[in-house]
Chains A and B, each alone.
Chain A
Amino acid sequence: MSTPKSELLLHLDNVWKIYDMGEVQVPALKGVTVEIKKGDFVAIMGASGSGKSTMMNLIGCLDLPSKGTIFLKSRDISTLNESDLASFRGETIGFIFQQYNLIHSMSALENVLLPLEFLEYDDDEALVRAVNLLKLVGLGDKIHHRPSQLSGGQQQRVSIARSLASNPEIILADEPTGALDSVTGKEVINILCELWEKQGKTIIMVTHDANLAKYAHTVIELKDGQIVKSYENGKSR
């Protein structure tokens, strides 16, 4: 147990998510209780269909639980209205998706600027930030490239830069290397590790790959919508 700080950042309290499919009801999460501390690197593991993405969506405030409560920075997210939730999400959480989810009509730079525009950053400040972030992920020379002009690894790095734009405390990554080959996947993992180690970000990463989970500090294993195992790797900052 070597996490330096133990401030509670995220708390899922007996969270259920039941998808209503009309005739059948699919319970994707069944009473999950989890506490994630600030500065932790958490890997959420589990087989396909075990409820990892559902859990990510709830943690990322993209969806609300059917039952139970989610506290993000001590705030019950179900009490926030849509607009506040969006802004809160924009400030607090940076998303990295398996399929990068960049906007294709926009350049790398514009993609990274977008979250800052939503948060109404000053133009000059936003520009400096975005350019610096693209440099940080090693794309300083490709800021005007469109996603279609970039390789998969480069696109994922743009999306990492975008996730960092608003300087959020939490980086939420859903299978961030899932669409990449092992070499570029390693590069992406390295960037995440750096963010964790050097910038003190809280990283929450979904993966089904045990090799990737080794990089994390805390591992949570899901099975059929329930946490079956939760342990800490020896690894620490």
Chain B
Amino acid sequence: MKLTKCLRHAFDMVVHSKLRSWLTILGIVIGVAAVIAISSLGTGLQQTVSNSLNLGGDIVTVTPGFSRGGNFFGGFGGRGGGGDTATTKVITLDRSDVQVLRGIPDLALIDTNIRDQVNVSYLGKSGKVSITGVDPKVWGQITTTTLAQGIFLDATDQNVVVIGGNLASSFFSQPVGINKMLTIQGSSFRVVGILNDQSNQIYMPIQTVYQIVTDKTVDNYDSIDVKIKNKDDLATVIAKMKEKLMISRHVTNSTLDFSITSNAQIQQARSATLSSLNTFLLAIAGVSLIVGAVGIANTMFTSVLEKTKEIGIMKAIGGRNRDILLIFLLNSALIGLVGGLIGVVFGTILSGFMPSLVGGLPFARTLGDIVSLNSIIVALSVSIGIGVLAGVIPAYQASQLKPVDALRFD
């Protein structure tokens, strides 16, 4: 029998198969859907991570305190923290540290930051938000966020702020526009820029922040951001910074009281974590595919058993072993393909929801449409392959049936 005819008979068998055999393809459907969704998530993560690496890969942050545990997500949470709890001395960064850093020729820019909470109100509506004091001369060149409107802070005006996108659009009863006045800790500040992000942050010249908040000491910093001249030197520059700061702060490795983190390192740590998470999820999806394969094999064994008589008839009227083998193998492959197709559809839908499932994490924004044609082709080939593998033994059994025995079967 010609291959096309075998395929048609295999296809008819799929069309005529019972509900029960449709249920067994569920394993393939789930497996493929999971693989599609997870690998789309993985690609999305990688893209976001590499995008942000391109952006902030040359930024290094110095913070006071040293956590020996090491944060899983590389310094997401409590900055500083840890340190030597026995001593009562508060660990800070100050002008002398900045001075040390200025002595390192590999650094292009140095920005000093403090962070606090402030009361802010606009048109009668008020609330508490985070504020970051920054060096207005430098911040605009070192930050990785971009402006939606207006300008970054500059050295000329002290009583101005740049605010986060969310604070501008939806925090107050009305949107805040450029040149509007916000009341912060009782004083008025003009909005000169609105950031292209979703935050409620306020950025203000650091000297002004010292004046409006009560719990910060002038010239003590919560963190120092530096931009290095050449991104490729990242590791050596970090080592150099650490060495110089250790000398000036009179600490050794065991009494270290500051941390140096880089965007790149954070991202790398995060992406390593995520990719191992991804691998783990893929392994689970793989198990589901194996379950699917067993399901198909089971369907095929049942189908061969049910069709024993038909196989006998086919052999009596001229069907060769090869023909029978091919029909059943193609049938199995088609079942796999159907499972794969349904899986791809579900997987694609699921990928659309993935960003909101991992919501809250900053990388989750742009993943919607990263189901590639490639992964669909791979998924379908894999499902066909699984179908073939699962069908090999049943189809071989079918082909080896002796015509007399098969015809006697009822």
Contact = CB atoms under 8 A, between A and B. Distances in A.
Interface string A77-96: 00000110011011100110
Interface stretch (A67-75, A116-124, A128-136, A220-228): A116-124
Contact of B318 (A57, A91, A105): A91
Contacts of B321: 82-83, 86
Interface in A132-186: 162, 165-166
Counting chain B CB atoms within 10 Å of each CB, the highest count among A102, A115, A118 belongs to: A118
Interface string B313-325: 1111111111100
Contact of B320 (A60, A62, A83, A166): A83
B12 A120 contact: no
Contacts of B12: 105-106
B89 interface: no
Interface string B177-196: 00000000000000000000
A207 to B, nearest CB: 18
Chain B residues touching A, majority SS: helix
A118 B403 contact: no
Nearest to A174: B407
Nearest to B307: A103
Contacts of A105: 12-13, 16
- Which of A63, A95, A103, A166 counts the most B-chain CB atoms under 10 A from its CB? A103
A20 to B, nearest CB: 13
Nearest to A110: B12
Nearest to B8: A117
Given A101-B309, A120-B2, A115 B322 contact: no
Given A62-B404, A101-B309, A120 B316 contact: no
- Most-contacted residue by chain A among B318, B322, B323 (CB, 10 A): B318
B1 A62 contact: no
Nearest to A63: B404
B402 interface: yes
Nearest to A83: B320
Interface of B: 1-2, 5, 12-13, 16, 309-310, 312-323, 402-404, 407
28 contacts: A60-B316, A62-B315, A63-B402, A63-B404, A82-B321, A86-B315, A86-B320, A86-B321, A87-B318, A87-B320, A89-B318, A90-B318, A90-B319, A91-B318, A97-B407, A101-B312, A101-B407, A103-B313, A115-B317, A117-B1, A117-B2, A117-B5, A118-B314, A118-B319, A118-B320, A120-B2, A162-B317, A166-B318
